Amino acid sequence: MSITLDIKLKRVDKVYHEGDNITGVIVVTSNSDFFKHEGITLTAEGSVNLQISSKNVGIIEAFYNSIKPIQLLSITCDVTGSGKLPAGTTQIPFEIPLKAKANQYLYETYHGVYVNISYALRCDVKRSFLSKDLQKQQQFLIQYKPGKNPNPQIITDDSRRITFDLSPASLASGGNGAPDFLLNGEFETNCCNITKPFKGFLSLIKCAVPIRSIELQLVRVETCGCAEGYAREATEIQNIQIGDGDVSQKINIPIYMIFPRLFTCPTLITKNFKIEFEVNIVIVFQDDHLVTNNFPIILVRE
């Protein structure tokens, strides 16, 4: 006797917005004559999980002091009371309105290092005393409706082109040991639509030593509030090479990066935590000398 439980969502991409109804079916397949149960419940849950980096506090503290998750969504509904299901496949359709808990907002799904925002549907089948209960989880994704970002703090009107010139003189270290070089570049905007690629170009005007690689690094900056104050951590999401080898000089090399799903979300600043993003332009010279320039960017969903 085997029983399988599955949740199938109607939307293929599993993406929902706040206020949507999440619809789908619970699929129960059993090959016994009758499948007895003590009731089926369906729960939609969503939470922000915060973790404190071990860099800021001790390892043990980090382990224990992980901050309590912030519940964003918690809806439970009884699908049916105790009863029996016939043999074969039974499909039970459901529909749950997605509504945040009071004083909360359904933030976008995000998988980071110290901050995780995730949503899931959970189906529980309670069974008689001697049998094991059945449980199935199904993740789903939340996205903001285009143009509706929850952060009033972020002024999206501030979007503008960013132009930059990199040379030994512009380095924070004062350019000691750096070869003579000059790099011009431009990002189309500092306020990026998360669904659109990050674009721009750069152009190497001159460089005294051969270049090994020019890279574009996407960095998340996660900040968690905790007892000792704020912990701010910057980690790499991805690193994309845009120039390979000793690139041509005085020629526009396009910068083109697609924001990876799940690992990015619109910039989020709340009172408990922040998720921000930056890009780095990294120039690696032949002798492994490395020059990095940092540009904060704002991600929005438009």
The site for another protein (CB under 8 A) is made up of: 12-13, 210-211, 214, 238-248, 251-254, 256-258, 260-261
- CB-nearer residue toward another protein: 38 or 246: 246
Spatial separation of the C-alpha atoms in residues 74 and 76, rounded to whole Å: 7
- CB-nearer residue toward another protein: 259 or 273: 259
Spatial separation of the C-alpha atoms in residues 187 and 78, rounded to whole Å: 51
**Please, is 200 exposed, middle or buried when counting C-beta atoms within 10 Å of its C-beta (0-12, 13-18, 19+)?**
buried
- CB-nearer residue toward another protein: 81 or 254: 254
Nearest to 140 by CA among 265, 267, 5, 44: 44
Q: How far is the CB of 43 from another protein (least distance, A)?
A: 20
Q: How far is the CB of 121 from another protein (least distance, A)?
A: 17
Q: How far is the CB of 216 from another protein (least distance, A)?
A: 10
- CB-nearer residue toward another protein: 228 or 244: 244
Q: How far is the CB of 248 from another protein (least distance, A)?
A: 4
Spatial separation of the C-alpha atoms in residues 138 and 126, rounded to whole Å: 18
Q: How far is CA 153 from the centre of its chain?
A: 20
Residue 223's alpha-carbon distances to 113, 174, 181, 267, in angstroms, are 11, 29, 35, 12
Q: Is the dihedral of CA 162, 164, 170, 176 positive or negative?
A: positive
Q: How far is the CB of 244 from another protein (least distance, A)?
A: 4
Residue 143 one-letter amino acid? Q
- CB-nearer residue toward another protein: 73 or 142: 142
Nearest to 120 by CA among 82, 84, 69, 81: 69
Tokens matching residue 122: 């959970």
Q: How far is the CB of 265 from another protein (least distance, A)?
A: 15
- CB-nearer residue toward another protein: 65 or 203: 203
